[in-house]
Amino acid sequence: MVPFRLPTEETLTIEKLVYGGEGLARLDGKVVLVPYVLPGEVVRAEVAPVKKGLFRGRLIEVISPAPARAAPPCPYFQRCGGCQYQHIDYASQVEHKRSILREVLRRVGKIEYDGDIAAIAGEPWGYRNRIQLHADRGTVGYFEQGSRRLCPITHCPIASPALNEAISTLHVRSSEESVELFTNESEVQTSRPIDYAGFRVSRNSFFQVNRFLIDPLVECATSDREGNWAVDLYAGVGLFSRRLAERFGKVTAVESGASAFRDLEHNLQGHAEMRNCSTEQFLAECHDTPDFFLADPPRAGLGKDAVAELARIRAPQLTIVSCDPATLSRDLRGLIDANYRIEKITVVDLFPQTSHIETVVELSLVPPE
């Protein structure tokens, strides 16, 4: 237990950004994490311990700003919990994400990757096609940073024009606690499915949220892969499966969610074999070797069971689409130990202005000597 200690105001020099969006400084040899800062900046912060060897700081003043510091256009920034990077110019945001990813690979996965980390970026504002709003006594907004207090909003700079129009006209029943909005820019989803670029997407089905980078993400993940048989794990509504069906003689799409699987069946009629089961179940029952696995797991990653089965099946080509560098690093460590080699890493910046990092990693099986 950390002894009680009143916060103190301290002058700190920020060394680097860490995953999650905070900057790291040191005070008497102890790590201090401070949000809304940049490497090289000298800042004044209110500092308090949170656990042994770790302090957190509340930014009071930037004494010496970094060249990459930008003026946030959003009036809710630093109060709303949605964005962490609006104070950084966009090109620098992408570079920091590449550096953070490399550091997490090294720290969590013990992976010394010395190759280039490519980056795909798009329009940094107005990109989100899906948002979740919270309601309180008829007022809507996002939760404040690190709490469940409501930050009321009238607009959101990272949301698409159609969603901003919906925000301004939304009337919420007093009994509702949250409202999710999804749009194809022609209509905003309420209860029924909508068509998004030829994909039926139901209310409870996952779909990528960056309306500008959907095609570049699909192209990056499927790349020049081709062959007889591809397996799309965590297939969702079939975003990757459809492209794979153009390049492989046979595609198997694996999805456990009921809503997403119904959409998958609708979207891939005649184009793929579909399995409504978990990835772990499918892999455990797989006794043939596909030419290619594509896996787009949730934040928890593949996990040790799936990694062990992939190591057993030994497909020659494997691509992981990851939304969490820590679980990605863990999964990659297991695959590298099973004789897979990283061929290429790409950061696809699906979430500008935030600390979230989407990564596509292409691997190949090293042939025995």
pLDDT tens across 13-25, in order? 999 999 999 999 9
Least confident piece of the model among 133-137, 227-231, 278-282, 286-290: 133-137
Can you list the alpha helix ranges (DSSP code H) found in 110-213? 161-169
* CA distance linking residue 216 with residue 141, whole number of Å: 30
At residue 5, the pLDDT reads 66
* CA distance linking residue 102 with residue 81, whole number of Å: 25
Which CATH code fits 8-64?
A: 2.40.50.140
At residue 274, the pLDDT reads 97
Asked whether this chain's domains 8-64 and 91-123+211-365 adopt the same fold, the reply is: no
Nearest Cα to 312, choosing from 345, 286, 341? Answer: 286
Please state the domain extents for the chain. 8-64, 91-123+211-365, 130-201
* CA distance linking residue 189 with residue 330, whole number of Å: 36
pLDDT at residue 156 greater than cutoff 60: yes
Token pair recorded at residue 302: 């593949």
Token pair recorded at residue 326: 């820590």
Average pLDDT, the chain: 94
* CB contact at 8 A, 256 and 279: yes
To which H or E segment does residue 244 belong?
A: helix 239-245
* CB contact at 8 A, 77 and 354: no
Nearest 5 degrees, angle CA 119-CA 145-CA 155? Answer: 75
Q: Is 47 helix (H, G, I), strand (E, B) or coil?
A: strand
Nearest Cα to 321, choosing from 355, 294, 286? Answer: 294
pLDDT at residue 356 greater than cutoff 90: yes
pLDDT tens across 74-127, in order? 999 999 999 999 999 999 999 999 999 999 999 999 999 999 999 999 999 999
The residues, ordered by sequence, that sit 6+ positions from 31 with a Cβ below 8 Å of its Cβ are 24, 25, 53, 54, 55
pTM for this entry: 0.94
Which CATH code fits 91-123+211-365?
A: 3.40.50.150
At residue 176, the pLDDT reads 65
* CA distance linking residue 344 with residue 364, whole number of Å: 10
Secondary structure (DSSP) of 257-314 = -HHHHHHHHHHTTTT-EEE-S-HHHHHHT--S--SEEEE---TT-S-HHHHHHHHHH-
At residue 136, the pLDDT reads 83
* CB contact at 8 A, 237 and 302: no
